[in-house]
Amino acid sequence: MMLNPVETPWLAVGIAFAVWVIIVSRSVFGGMEKRWWHYVVVLAIVAAGIGVDYLLDSDMEAINKQLEAGRTAVIESRPGDIADLLARDYSDAVHGSKAEFMARCRSVLDRRAVEDIDFGKKVIELDGRHATVELGVFGKPAKGTGYADIAPVFRVEMELELAKNGGEWLIERAELVKVNGQSVSWTRLR
């Protein structure tokens, strides 16, 4: 497994450790005199690794942030935030456009429908500027909804297709796969 310096600072910490070992060995065995700036170099490498990790998001981190933003938008019944996650050319098996999908979202989220959502299965496959996400979530229906009386928890499996637009990952397509273990699609929920 190759470490991505954008995803984790451990690669830079490992390099800094190796540099420190070389400096110490050269000063002990090679007669090199220890200088204060030797340690500054080691600390600068560690700081650079932490800075890169903190300031830059890898594609996986960016996709996970989008998924988390979608989760929050559904829980807080904010369809406008969902619209921000969708590509302009969004479409799926039933919704021919982003506008159609958003009309459906607004009708479902005009009141609080979900109290909580937890991610279960999450498989992200990257292919350049495109990604496919197999997503399984557990949701707790909000009190007062018809579904809350039927089941305390529901499980939804979806398949999402995302594309990198500029520096941002946007959802181009979202298809329902299963609800509570039963095969389902947008057309069956119409």
As a whole number, the mean pLDDT across the chain is 83
Nearest to 76 by CA among 119, 105, 102, 98: 105
Is 88 a residue whose pLDDT tops 90?
A: yes
User: 42 and 64: one domain?
Assistant: no
pLDDT 10s digits, 119-129: 988 999 988 89
User: 108 and 21: one domain?
Assistant: no
Predicted confidence at residue 90, as pLDDT, reads 93
Question: Residue 187's pLDDT band (boundaries 50, 70, 90)?
Answer: low
Question: Residue 3's pLDDT band (boundaries 50, 70, 90)?
Answer: low
* 67: alpha, beta or left? (left if phi > 0; alpha if psi -120 to 50): alpha
User: 162 and 69: one domain?
Assistant: yes
Q: In Å, how far are 28, 83, 101 from 80, measured between CA atoms?
A: 63, 5, 12
User: 44 and 73: one domain?
Assistant: no
pLDDT 10s digits, 127-185: 889 999 999 999 888 887 777 778 888 898 999 999 998 888 999 999 989 988 888 77
From the number of C-beta atoms within 10 Å of its C-beta (0-12, 13-18, 19+), residue 67 rates as: buried
> How many Å from the N-terminal Cα to the C-terminal Cα in the chain?
44
Q: Is 4 contained in some domain?
A: no
The pTM score is 0.72
Q: Is 30 contained in some domain?
A: yes
Percent of the chain at pLDDT exceeding 70? 88
pLDDT 10s digits, 24-52: 777 777 667 777 777 788 888 778 777 77
Largest CA distance in the chain: 79
State the average pLDDT over residues 98-121: 86
User: 132 and 158: one domain?
Assistant: yes
Question: Residue 59's pLDDT band (boundaries 50, 70, 90)?
Answer: confident
Question: Please, which contacts does 97-105 make with residues 24 or more away whose CB atoms are closer than 8 Å?
Answer: 101/174, 105/79
Range of the domain at 106: 59-189
User: 125 and 47: one domain?
Assistant: no
Gap between the Cα atoms of 172 and 89, Å rounded: 7
Please report, for the domain that includes residue 172, its CATH number: 3.10.450.50
State which H helix or E strand residue 45 sits in: helix 36-55
Gap between the Cα atoms of 100 and 102, Å rounded: 5
User: 18 and 103: one domain?
Assistant: no
Number of helical H runs and strand E runs in the chain: 7, 5
Predicted confidence at residue 190, as pLDDT, reads 52
Look at 161 and 113; give whichever has higher pLDDT.
Answer: 161
User: 165 and 78: one domain?
Assistant: yes
User: 68 and 149: one domain?
Assistant: yes
Q: Is 153 contained in some domain?
A: yes
For residue 24, give the amino acid letter.
V
How many distinct structural domains can be found in the chain? 2
User: 83 and 155: one domain?
Assistant: yes
Q: Is 33 contained in some domain?
A: yes
From the number of C-beta atoms within 10 Å of its C-beta (0-12, 13-18, 19+), residue 12 rates as: buried
